[in-house]
Amino acid sequence: QVQLTESGGGLVQAGGSLRLSCAASGLAFSTYAMAWFRQAPGKEREFVSALSWSGGSTRYADSVKGRFTISRDNAKNTVYLQMNSLKFEDTAVYYCAAPGTRYTIPSTRGYVYWGQGTQVTVSS
């Protein structure tokens, strides 16, 4: 079974940095794109970033572009989200996700495997 486990969340002051990790098991990790989503209280889940199976293509939401960096280490079956210059508006539960189709970066609806989430809280 596919399992995605996020870690690295916590409390940080505005302007600070965090690095989130997502350890994957139960899938051929190196053949799947991976993504990060987030959900703030009272808001819909939103796309944050995605990375292709090869690591050669990235996608970022406009709200995080230039501040966040997604990366992966296929040898460790892990995807990362480096978050710099954090803002209060970044406060949310961050979820790691994997699609149901290999080798492609799907539409938002194409992500079918989800982690349990890790809380990121940015103090103002």
Q: What per-residue confidence (pLDDT) applies to 68?
A: 98
pLDDT in tens, 95-121: 999 999 999 888 989 999 999 999 999
Q: If you count them, how many residues does the chain have?
A: 124
The predicted model gives 2-26 an average pLDDT of 97
The predicted model gives 33-43 an average pLDDT of 96
Q: What per-residue confidence (pLDDT) applies to 22?
A: 98
pLDDT in tens, 59-108: 999 999 999 999 999 999 999 999 999 999 999 999 999 999 999 888 98
In whole angstroms, give the CA distance from residue 8 to residue 39: 16
- Alpha-carbon distances, residue 61 vs 33, 57, 124 (angstroms): 16, 14, 22
CB contact at 8 A, 81 and 61: no
Q: What per-residue confidence (pLDDT) applies to 101?
A: 92
